[in-house]
Amino acid sequence: MKLVVAVVQDQDSNRLSNALTKNNFRATKLASTGGFLRSGNTTFIVGTEDSKIPQLLDIIKDNCRSREQMVSPVSPLGGNADSYIPYPIEVEVGGATVFVLPIEQFHHF
């Protein structure tokens, strides 16, 4: 048994949620916020059998894509201004960050 935690950009959230449901994966969705860009994310938590991990990872990979986006950095408040970039920069956002964790026990009451 494995616990999969997938952090995806909000733009990919509905597409991934629908694909998981269509493929009979149960998932818990949590609203989350990224620390670097402070933008909206969705964290999916899925418990599944070891044998289904490749299929689950393929679904996540197929429904969460990375993209380029222009962002205006937040100015440092009381922080170090030496590393502050005062103009918009292009960064890669999206995709999915996925953690696969072993589960010692699973109970459903």
Q: Which pLDDT tens digit goes with each residue over 40-86?
A: 789 999 999 999 999 999 999 999 987 776 666 655 555 555 555 66
Q: Which amino acid is at 54?
A: P
Q: Which pLDDT tens digit goes with each residue over 19-31?
A: 999 999 999 999 9
Q: Which of 2, 3, 10, 1 is nearest to 96 (CA)?
A: 10
Domain count, the chain: 1
Q: Which range of residues forms the domain containing residue 46?
A: 2-72+87-102
Residue 78 domain flag: no
List the structure tokens of 47: 């418990």
Give the pLDDT confidence score for residue 83 in this predicted structure. Answer: 57
**CA 20 distance to own-chain centroid:** 14
